[in-house]
Amino acid sequence: MKKLDDKVVLITGASKGIGFGCALSVLRHGGKVAALALDMDQAHSEYEKAGYSFGKDVLPITCDVRDAKALEAAFAQALGHFGKLDGLINNAGWHPPAMTIEETSLEDFESLLKLNLTSTFLCCKLAIPHLKKNGGAIVIMSSEVALIGQGSAPAYVASKAGQLGLTRALALDLAHLKVRVNAVCPAGVMTPLMNEWAATQYDPAAVLKAVDAWHPMGRMATIDEMGEVCSFLLSSEASFMTGQVICPDGGASLGYADKYPHK
């Protein structure tokens, strides 16, 4: 028996990055995946390289999570294909280029909230009627900056902090239904989005090296490592965990590492 045998998990932002890592982890542990993204066609070859084909175990659904009707249709398609839903990973989101509050328009702020926070709310709302049938689990992919802040990213930090509040509120409301809700707050993860963000900085290569150095373990996380954390939270191994914020951050939140050699 694998820990996610026969479990059906819907994952947003599943075409690349952390969402792709989560999908591969769920599949490795015996689960089935409804994979949502703006363009799932582009991900087909990556799933095949990993040994999984679209069809029986992976249902690709092209969907803009900012569109409520499209999300409702995506959930209906997933349920029609698999017949049930056991887990949800809210992963879709975006980190905009570095911008201060003066440089961030109201439209920019509201648009990012819609993508990072409102879509998380709606996915949870759509999933809960099905998760409560057999006791399911929700994982919300937030960020360590929701806990410690980040310069020149007020909209992003606000959206990610909002996800943590939602996690705790839902955990309280759903505990009696045996539905667990937890959040994951990574620090640096090597993803296409990380490279996009670095490209907005003064020296992308130097910035990526600096991000590696923020972590006492000397590197960023991989998407596979994030996927394994999420699979754990979805599984019965985490059966007494709800409302928790898990920080797989390589020690980044502990403080400055001592980089000087000791005598």
Active centre residues (catalytic): 156
Type and span of the H or E element at 223: helix 223-234
DSSP 150: -
Tokens standing for 146? 């929701």
Provide φ and ψ at 58, rounded to 5°: -125, 120
Taking Cα atoms as reference points, which of 197, 186, 253 lies closest to residue 226? 186
Type and span of the H or E element at 69: helix 68-82
For CA atoms 194, 95, 78, 230, the dihedral sign is: positive
- Rounded CA gap, 201 and 172, in Å? 40
- Rounded CA gap, 44 and 22, in Å? 16
Say how many CA atoms lie within 13 Å of 161 toward its Cβ: 12
Taking Cα atoms as reference points, which of 156, 84, 74 lies closest to residue 123? 74
- Rounded CA gap, 29 and 248, in Å? 20
Give residue 150's Cα distance to chain centre. Answer: 18
Type and span of the H or E element at 184: strand 180-184
